[in-house]
Amino acid sequence: MQKPLQNYIPALTGVRALAAYLVFVSHYAYAFDENFPRAVQRFLNEMHIGVTIFFVLSGFLIAFRYFDSFKLTGDWFKQYLKNRVARIYPMYFLLTLGAFVSYYFTHDQKVTNGFGSPIGLFFMNITFVRGFFDQLKFTGIAQGWSLTVEECFYFSAPFIFYFAKKYNKFWLQWAVVTGIGALLVVIFSRVNWYGFFGNFTFMFLYTFLGRCFEFFAGIQLALIVKKRQPKIDGQAKTWFTYGGFLLIFVCVGIMSILPIPKGEVAGLHHPFGIITNNYLLASSIAMFFYGLLTETTILKKILSFKFVELLGKSSYIFYLIHLGYMYDFLHRYFNKWNDDIFELYDKWGKDWNSPFQYDNLNVLYAFIILNGVAILLFKLIEEPLNHYIRKSDFLIKNKPRNPENNSEAIKA
């Protein structure tokens, strides 16, 4: 029985978990250095591709929901921003506050990167401004730099839709936006202002101006889907799903064999790595998503499982906590427990192994624990705050019926 493509696509919720876990692998691949050949280590280091998956998914979801209904009016924009704030901001604010509270007690320089005013830096973090500065991009919650990119897209999306409809120059916009980024680098690269658009690598990898193609790829996918109105027909087609999935990891393979520039950690930072990540990978991900939307595959069924769906819904929190003070807290306790266990063995006169003496096992423990924390925070804080803000009169008086349904769980 055929049915039209719905607003809520469980497989795309599951994809969010996959993306977050790939980023986790890229940050903790070092724990497996002794177990895998160098080529495998390099491959794992390029699993930052989860960020590109998030960006393409954001472009698709925002366009799929808003392209036909957006209005450049004050009320529409207020409602739009209200929905964005409800989805993104509460947990980001709370967890960023947690990072700076942690800094007060630990003086962990990863939080401030030597910036003179922690309070000023805190405000730069909660307003997403730090993401425009190369030297400050990893302060606070380090991986939160990507939210500056997301927020820039959210603000830009209605105008992208407007110019796409009015002038039919959709892809020209991508070239213009990237050109503006290049111009800013030319202007500010000689200015010593905490790396504000200080170099092309930073612009292309850490700002919306450099990474806008990924969002445009998602928007283009949404426009294709809307135009063709694909049906989920139950036939076991696989070409786009598995073809796109394979091409994603071909891109990873390409980046893993590129020379790593001095001072960097991945082939991503090589000029051709940037091209591969921002353009070839984004196109491959869009192809993969098209398969998930239109084909019936085992992978789609796995990504649609209820538990995987829950992991996808909590993946935003997992992404924010997998690197930083929460992981460091667990790591300190793993080390303490390891020492305590060996002291106990010494008392017993035993030469046994400790469950906390292996880095790869500790990473696995942290992965499981942080997923549990993410699910709890999602259920107890993120989801209730999300609904509360949407039902409140924040920015605009709440309407009796919200134009967006509860499928917001898969929103970027």
Cα of 278 vs its chain's centroid, Å: 14
Residue 244, amino acid: G
Q: Which amino acid is at 6?
A: Q
pLDDT, residue 118, reads 95
With beta carbons less than 8 A apart as the criterion, state whether 121 and 139 touch.
yes
Pairing, β 3-4 against β 231-232: antiparallel
DSSP secondary structure letter of residue 284: H
- In whole angstroms, what is the distance from residue 49 CA to residue 303 CA? 18
| Cβ count within 10 A of residue 174 | 18
Question: Which amino acid, one-letter code, is at 41?
Answer: Q
Residues 6+ apart with CB under 8 A from 174: 212, 213, 216
Q: For residues 386 and 263, what is the distance between their CA atoms, to the nearest angstrom?
A: 40
176 within 8 A of 163, measured Cβ to Cβ: no
Ranges of residues in the chain whose predicted pLDDT is under 50: 1-2, 233-234, 402-412
- Three-class DSSP category at 313: helix
Strand runs labelled E in 141-236: 231-232
Q: How far apart are CA 16 and CA 135, in angstroms?
A: 28
For helices 74-106 and 383-391, what crossing angle results, to 10°? 140
Looking at residue 236, its pLDDT comes to 57
In whole angstroms, give the CA distance from residue 330 to residue 342: 18
- How far apart, in Å, do the first and last CA atoms of the chain sit? 30
* DSSP label of 4: E
User: Backbone phi, then psi, for 24, in 5-degree steps?
Assistant: -60, -45
Q: Which two three-digit tokens encode residue 152? A: 């820039």
What pLDDT score was predicted for residue 171?
87
Q: What is d(CA 340, CA 334) in angstroms, rounded to the nearest whole number?
A: 10
Q: How far is CA 104 from CA 23, 120, 199, in A?
A: 27, 14, 32
The size of the chain, in residues, is 412
d(CA 404, CA 376): 25
